[in-house]
Structure 1
Amino acid sequence: MKVVKFGGSSVASGNQIKKITGIITSDEKRRVIVVSAPGKRSSDDVKVTDLLIQLGDSLQIGVDHEEAYRQVISRFEEIVLDLNLDESVLREVQRKIDDSIALIRSEDPTGIDALKACGEDGSALVVSAYLQTLGHEGTYVNPKEAGILVKDQPGGALVLEESFERLYKLRERQGTLVIPGFFGFTEEDQLVTFSRGGSDITGSIVAAGVKADLYENFTDVDSVFCVNPMYVENPRPLTSLTYREMRELSYAGFGVFHDEALIPAFKEKIPVCIKNTNNPTAPGTMIVAELPEREEHVVGIASDEGFLNLYVSKYLMNREIGFGRRLLQILEDEGVSFEHAPSGIDDMSVIIREHHLPKDKEEIVLQRINDELQVDMVLIERDMAMIMIVGEGMNQTIGIASSATSAFQEAGVNIEMINQGSSEVSMMFGVKSEGLGPAVQALYKVFFGEK
């Protein structure tokens, strides 16, 4: 059995849905399908999920929402008409959107999550209906019916272990099962969404639950590349990766996978293949638990902007028991999550995504650190970027750090921070955002031998 997940670009239009149904019906092992909400049809288009969020925001603050509502319905209407589906399919999609709007108006706390989930839910209704018109047994399966139970954490649901036993029963069902991604249900029957991009999480959970032989994730690229094509022209494609490598790359800016997505598949050791909806015969990139030892120890270079460095200095900090805990406790009290926290004898840096510490909250955090920790210095440096080189066994390979730092020197980019810690598969560098492109290009040249 194969579990197949199709991303937003794969269900963005009627023509794309025709492609994916061709992919589904070409292999009888593709029995469980997970779909995203319709994505962009072109570079200047808007994703349906973004329209739903805009609609929800308008409803909450009491401003005109008719245009956002019209655009959402119009997107689904266009797809339904293009596929020549019965009008009842569109009516069902619209009913679910209207029901969610009613929840928001009644100030039900589940209303926003219910509305955001309508994109994936609508895609699943459309794809299952279209399969039926082709003479195939396509069945829409709601996540509650499938057995996806989650912890009640709106916008960031966590799957409960009992889900996997329930999902296994899907193997007993006949035909092609189409499940909307991105959301599950609590034990109290409340709809809760995963974090943004959570359809990848659903796909991985379902693959783990049914103990699939393969989890295929269809997107709009032939494979994972070793570096972002935004910085390097025609970068080298990767034919295979380990789970740990892919997770590190996803976290550090690779847009192919949500960084939490592989965990359920990883636990069950289910191989994952990333493929292209628009070129389904391409071999794609395989992601597996283990690979034979490779000649190249660096397999990818990931990067992302939008970080800040909270720098704290205090003489003899290392002798002050509990200092790090109390610093991080202040961040926790203020609802700020952190990414990395490298430290020295007298200083400590905490790397935070900028949107987690807005300017108004920054003043509160700085004041508390000064008052409660009696530090010598505390400052915040914004406009930071993180670059990560990734590969199994890097920490056992002589010269990796030296080669990387020489690349930064060649690019004329100053390294603000280096963090490897206990990781065996990655090394992270912090730089000012303006140096991101030149640094990535120089690293690519060093580790992949190409200009």
Structure 2
Amino acid sequence: MKVVKFGGSSLANGEQFQKVVNIINADAERKVIVTSAPGKRFDRDTKVTDLLIDYAQYTCKKQETALIFKQIWARYQEIADYFHIAAEQLAPLRQELATLPANKYRSQAVLLATFKAHGEKLNAQLLTLILQKKQIAARYLDPQPAGFEVGGPANDAHILPQTYQNLQRWQEPATLLVVPGFYGINENGEIATFSRGGSDITGAIWARGLQADLYENFTDVNAIYAANPQIIKHPQAIKVMTYREMRELSYAGFSVFHDEAIIPAIEVQIPINVKSTNHPELPGTMIVTEKEFKPQHVITGVASSNHFSALYLHRYLLNKEVGFTLKLLQIFYKYNISYEHMPSGIDDLTVIFDKRQFTAQVRDQMCNDIRAMLAPDYLEWIDDYAIIMVVGEGMRNKIGVMKNITAPLAQKHVAIHMINQGASRISIMLGTKRADAAAAVTQIYQQFFN
């Protein structure tokens, strides 16, 4: 049995919906379909989720919502018209969207989550109507009767353990199930959403709950590539990779998956197949467990990301001082800041952060606290920072990998500010200036794949 998730680009208009219908109809093993909200139809288009956020904000400010409602509903009406769905069948969906501003909400956070979730909810209901019109037996299943329970903040929810037990009752569905991604129901009976990209998480949760044989994730790319196609022209497609390779590369900017999306599938070792909605005949990329994987290359992929900053601290005899790192972490805790990495020497250390956590005020206050409490000899905040991740199961037992990574960078005068290799030995992290990131990716890719 297969759980299948379709991304926003796969469900953006009538033509894409028809491809989805064909994919569903082509394999009887596809039993559970997870939908995203309609994505962009063209480059300057707006995702329905973004329109729903505007709808929520207008409602909170008690501003006129008729125009934004019309804009959102037009997206669904366009798809319905493509399939000649009757107006009376669409009426309940339109009414549900129209009455969102009039409903009562416990807080503005719950209001925002509820509005956002309707991108996926209405799309799942619409897909169900289309499948039924095509004489494909299908049922829309809402998260509440499904038992899809979540906890945490309304707009950053996490799955509750009992959900996996609840989902087991749907292991042998009598008909095709169409379920909305991105959200679940909390203990108050309210909608709560995952972070953006959460439909991927929903698909992985359903796959785990049903103990699926395969989780198929359909998107707008033919496969996962060994490097960013915006940096490398026609990069090599990755045929097979491991869960942990995918996790490392997602962290550094691979955008096929939400960063935490595959964890539920990893926990029960369900294979994942990333495939193209536009070319479903292609094999895509299989993501498997380490024990099932035989590396074909030294590295599997190289990725870069520019959303990092670094804090450099120098203090003589730092390695002799007991409690220095503890005090530093307590300051981070005070400001609710998490750090990514902390490579160190005997007299200095560098702390790497996701810079999206900071405002200028928080950054300055935190640095002032560090100066006051730890009295470093030197402190520098580095905003011009990029991370390069070189990832591959094939690196584990290969001698000379570091030389092959750094030598071509030296030839192109790319300065390396930091090197960190994880204990798993399948990833090497480099810190560079942002302006050097694309050149670093290019040189490393050419060294290992050309």
| Same structural fold, with TM-score higher than 0.5 when normalized by the shorter chain | yes
1:17-51 Cα offsets, whole Å, 9 max, x none, are 11101110111111100011100101111111112
Distance 2:159 2:357 in 1: 24
Alignment CA distance shift 1:327-1:202 (3 Å) = same
Give the 5 Å matches for 1:355-366: 355-366=356-367
Give the 5 Å matches for 1:112-127: 112-127=112-127
Q: Which residue of 1 aligns with 2:330?
A: 329
1:123-172 Cα offsets, whole Å, 9 max, x none, are 10111110111112111111222222112223221112211111111123
Which range moves more in the overlay, 202-211 or 375-384? 375-384
Alignment CA distance shift 1:67-1:292 (3 Å) = same
Alignment CA distance shift 1:95-1:326 (3 Å) = farther
SS in 2 for 1:304: strand
Alignment CA distance shift 1:83-1:323 (3 Å) = farther
Distance 1:382 1:409 in 2: 23
SS in 2 for 1:237: coil
SS in 1 for 2:279: coil
Alignment CA distance shift 1:104-1:394 (3 Å) = farther
Q: Report how far residue 98 of structure 1 moved.
A: 4.0
Alignment CA distance shift 1:150-1:321 (3 Å) = farther
SS in 2 for 1:366: helix
Q: Which amino acid in the other structure matches residue 365 of structure 2? A: I
Contact 1:89 1:125 in 2 (8 A): no
SS in 2 for 1:248: helix
SS in 1 for 2:439: helix
Distance 1:379 1:95 in 2: 56
Point out 4+ residue stretches in structure 1 off by more than 6 angstroms.
none
1:95-135 Cα offsets, whole Å, 9 max, x none, are 43345434577745411111111111111011111011111
Q: Which residue of 2 aligns with 1:4?
A: 4
Which range moves more in the overlay, 398-407 or 196-205? 398-407
1:299-328 Cα offsets, whole Å, 9 max, x none, are 111111121112222222222223223222
Distance 2:376 2:100 in 1: 49
- What is the count of residue pairs matched by the alignment? 449
Q: Which amino acid in the other structure matches residue 45 of structure 2? A: D
SS in 2 for 1:70: helix
Q: Report how far residue 63 of structure 1 moved.
A: 5.1
Alignment CA distance shift 1:90-1:358 (3 Å) = farther
Q: Which residue of 1 aligns with 2:340?
A: 339
Q: Report how far residue 377 of structure 1 moved.
A: 2.2
Which range moves more in the overlay, 213-222 or 312-321? 312-321
Q: Which amino acid in the other structure matches residue 406 of structure 2? A: T
Q: Report how far residue 255 of structure 1 moved.
A: 1.0
Determine what percentage of the aligned residue pairs are the same residue: 41
The yes-or-no answer on 1:385 pairing with 2:386 is yes
Q: Which residue of 2 aligns with 1:259?
A: 259
The TM-score, its normalising length taken from structure 2, stands at 0.95
SS in 1 for 2:265: helix
Distance 1:340 1:60 in 2: 39
Distance 2:188 2:104 in 1: 19
1:367-420 Cα offsets, whole Å, 9 max, x none, are 111122222222211132111010115243211111111121122211111111
Distance 1:194 1:444 in 2: 34
Q: Which amino acid in the other structure matches residue 300 of structure 1? A: G
SS in 2 for 1:131: helix
Q: Which amino acid in the other structure matches residue 96 of structure 1? A: E
1:232-251 Cα offsets, whole Å, 9 max, x none, are 11111111011111111111
Give the 5 Å matches for 1:88-127: 88-102=88-102, 107-127=107-127
Which range moves more in the overlay, 131-140 or 147-156? 147-156
Q: Report how far residue 65 of structure 1 moved.
A: 4.7
Contact 1:155 1:195 in 2 (8 A): yes
Which range moves more in the overlay, 202-211 or 43-52? 43-52
Distance 1:388 1:251 in 2: 9
Give the 5 Å matches for 1:403-418: 403-418=404-419
Q: Report how far residue 360 of structure 1 moved.
A: 2.1
Distance 1:256 1:214 in 2: 17
The yes-or-no answer on 1:31 pairing with 2:34 is no
Residue ranges of structure 2 left out of the alignment (5+ in a row): none
Which range moves more in the overlay, 440-449 or 286-295? 286-295
Q: Which amino acid in the other structure matches residue 80 of structure 1? A: A
Residue ranges of structure 1 left out of the alignment (5+ in a row): none
Q: Which residue of 2 aligns with 1:304?
A: 305
Q: Which amino acid in the other structure matches residue 400 of structure 1? A: V
Q: Report how far residue 258 of structure 1 moved.
A: 1.0
Q: Which residue of 1 aligns with 2:373?
A: 372
Contact 1:59 1:104 in 2 (8 A): no
Q: Which amino acid in the other structure matches residue 212 of structure 2? A: A
Contact 2:241 2:293 in 1 (8 A): no
Q: Which amino acid in the other structure matches residue 138 of structure 1? A: A
SS in 1 for 2:171: helix
Q: Which residue of 2 aligns with 1:350?
A: 351
Give the 5 Å matches for 1:205-216: 205-216=205-216
Distance 1:69 1:195 in 2: 23
Q: Which residue of 2 aligns with 1:432?
A: 433
Alignment CA distance shift 1:320-1:104 (3 Å) = farther
CA RMSD of aligned residues (A): 1.8
Alignment CA distance shift 1:92-1:325 (3 Å) = farther
SS in 2 for 1:225: coil
The yes-or-no answer on 1:154 pairing with 2:150 is no
Which range moves more in the overlay, 396-405 or 92-101? 92-101
Which range moves more in the overlay, 343-352 or 34-43? 343-352
Distance 2:65 2:366 in 1: 36
SS in 1 for 2:132: helix
Give the 5 Å matches for 1:241-260: 241-260=241-260
SS in 2 for 1:389: strand
Alignment CA distance shift 1:135-1:293 (3 Å) = closer
Q: Which residue of 1 aligns with 2:179?
A: 179
Q: Report how far residue 61 of structure 1 moved.
A: 4.5
Q: Report how far residue 212 of structure 1 moved.
A: 0.6
Q: Which residue of 2 aligns with 1:78?
A: 78
1:313-371 Cα offsets, whole Å, 9 max, x none, are 22222222232232222222212222222222222222112221121211111111112
